Structure 1
């Protein structure tokens, strides 16, 4: 689903259907799987289908009625055409929630399982989401001031660049990348897992804006405060060496939007396309499953589960891998500099990347990841 469609659906759910933004974000992928990617499709959907997605009969009716009402007034936008009026309304989707609400909605699951429990788990995934998981976790320690929205965006920028390189090496794509052609020239760069990523600085963005003064979700003990810093980014007394919140720039999208340019450089009067953190989070949530006992890959026809069961399992599996990588990063953080931690993280990924069973071992092929192998990286720090 194109990012414009995702944004349009979020706008419809949060504004027209009055669904809480955090709930709306979590339902986009379920709507997509059910083939409901436009308001028109939602307006003709069966009530039972919507009830299975939203888990609430009243909310399902609310969404269906809103879709019928909106579809009568205007047609849903397509991937290829949007009216200027609709384009101006899209940014209001996220503008209606506070930075604190957005960051809270992007919070990633983190398992509380012990290392012993984790060591017995084998996950089934492909290589791209594992890189994404490593990058998000490592950035927590190399750039602790960055909120979760920035870490997800930067991590996705790394995955996109690596995917392009892998596609070229396999002969799937040819020609110079947007980065090689000079797109985004003049923008600042940072390193994520050893690779330079062009970024956009989010001046004036305060991830804590809108945070309740008392009784907020993260108020309380030290564990809660750590969770707060993990989601919103740490605050330091001396911010002279800290970057402001950052976005990862989508250079390929930048090139695609202006192929007639002969300079290969971004224009200062145009907004730069960025990697949206919501998309990266959804990608992580659907990327990991648990391999059956015995280390074999999941069957081609898995047991049918309800939507709520699938959501719970996705969160659990993602929490397992994030917890394992975090244990490794935490064990090394006190002995390595941020630059060295970032440099070594790519080598760690290479040692535990999925064992591809067949094919050419491409970027998108799936295989097994043993969390015991991930945790072994921590033992080397002792």
Structure 2
């Protein structure tokens, strides 16, 4: 099953069948094993046939119903029959995702079903920053499990950007004077912050952002994507902390609208403030992990995009296996403390100093697997 097919199946489950994304991701491999890895195949079975995978009868029924509906549309030549890449372009041309569930589904990351042996033989080619991003996104699944993928991508990109800027300044590649630093600090006044691997990041709270479906009988909270720091209505909110956006203070300072931005922050109007978007973080990950074709042939542009997506899926699965092995014995805070050291041990070798800035080299997934806790 190719990365594109996996993405298509995830998209069907989370968007068409309205299955929570986390549940969809956990069932993809089982559906593949059962040869039920497409809407067309699912449309030919009864909901009782997938009861072993989806024990909630209501969920099983809505999957089969959605499969029949999608299959019928495709047979009639509806635009749902477009390839994943073309359909994606079509969706975005119509505007941004309409709600939290659609947003989370639209930014789903590639999923790998490769065996550990296959992963151990895989080698990807990249520079250091996207590897830090991949580690950080995975780390946040363990340290901030209440955050949706959109927030984790935003926060992870903020961490990488902040770290990269500090490095660039230390190498003399970028200059940042005292006035600029003070301006950013003024803009950040009053905003909440979170700490990720020792870096303090200013954030915006996304009150009421309901990013997964509540369990049967559980009250639904208000779905809204506009940020506000007004106190939430406790009757409509779950007990979990609000989802977050990472605020891009550098972009805010460079916008030359610091006075307007300060007024917006003071008034609680955050809809116009620049954030690190999950779409840009995802796009950065998708384009960053290439590999060498053993045949020496130059792949087509589409084939190269597919290969990079597959490589990203393999890398994320490998990093997840690392964290899973330690999460059983370490607290989230300790996982955070160890992350940078793990990254340093496996990052691509490049020249020191300015000469190595942005340099690329091999990343052996076997080196990441070797960091797992020994049984």
**TM-score using structure 2 length:** 0.63
CA-to-aligned-CA distance 1:265-295 (integer Å, 9 cap, x gap)? 98424532111101111110000012466xx
3-state SS in 2 of match to 1:255: helix
Equivalent position of 2:33 in the other structure: none
2:364 pairs with 1:370: yes
After TM superposition, the structure 1 = structure 2 runs for residues 151-230 of structure 1, keeping only pairs within 5 Å, are 151-176=152-177, 181=183, 182=185, 183-208=187-212
Quick one: higher RCO (CA 8 Å, sep 6+), 1 or 2? 1
3-state SS in 1 of match to 2:371: helix
3-state SS in 2 of match to 1:274: coil
Distance 1:260 1:244 in 2: 26
Q: Does the CA-based 8 Å contact 1:203-1:245 persist in structure 2?
A: yes
Distance 2:160 2:142 in 1: 19
Distance 2:365 2:202 in 1: 32
**Once the 2 structures are TM-superposed, how far is the Cα of residue 264 of structure 1 from its aligned partner?**
8.5
Equivalent position of 2:132 in the other structure: 131
CA-to-aligned-CA distance 1:187-242 (integer Å, 9 cap, x gap)? 22212233221111100110126x999xxxxxxxxxxxxxxxxxxxxxxxx975x4
The change in CA–CA distance for 1:121 and 1:323 in structure 2 (over 3 A counts) is: same
Distance 1:206 1:248 in 2: 18
> 303, 311, 320: which one pairs with 1:326?
320
Instruction: Give structure 2 stretches of 5+ with no counterpart.
Output: 1-15, 17-81, 217-236
Equivalent position of 1:93 in the other structure: 95
More helix by share: 2
Distance 1:137 1:251 in 2: 24
Distance 1:124 1:263 in 2: 40
2:329 pairs with 1:335: yes
CA-to-aligned-CA distance 1:46-81 (integer Å, 9 cap, x gap)? xxxxxxxx869x989x97xxx9xxxxxxxxxxxxxx
> 328, 332, 349: which one pairs with 1:355?
349
Number of aligned residue pairs: 267
Instruction: Give structure 1 stretches of 5+ with no counterpart.
Output: 1-19, 21-53, 68-91, 214-237
Equivalent position of 1:122 in the other structure: 123
Distance 2:136 2:197 in 1: 7
> 248, 251, 259: which one pairs with 2:246?
248
CA-to-aligned-CA distance 1:134-187 (integer Å, 9 cap, x gap)? 011110111111111011101110111011111111111112486664131222
RMSD: 3.6
2:304 pairs with 1:310: yes
After TM superposition, the structure 1 = structure 2 runs for residues 227-238 of structure 1, keeping only pairs within 5 Å, are none
The change in CA–CA distance for 1:59 and 1:262 in structure 2 (over 3 A counts) is: closer
Q: Does the CA-based 8 Å contact 1:185-1:265 persist in structure 2?
A: no
The change in CA–CA distance for 1:212 and 1:189 in structure 2 (over 3 A counts) is: closer
**TM-score using structure 1 length:** 0.61
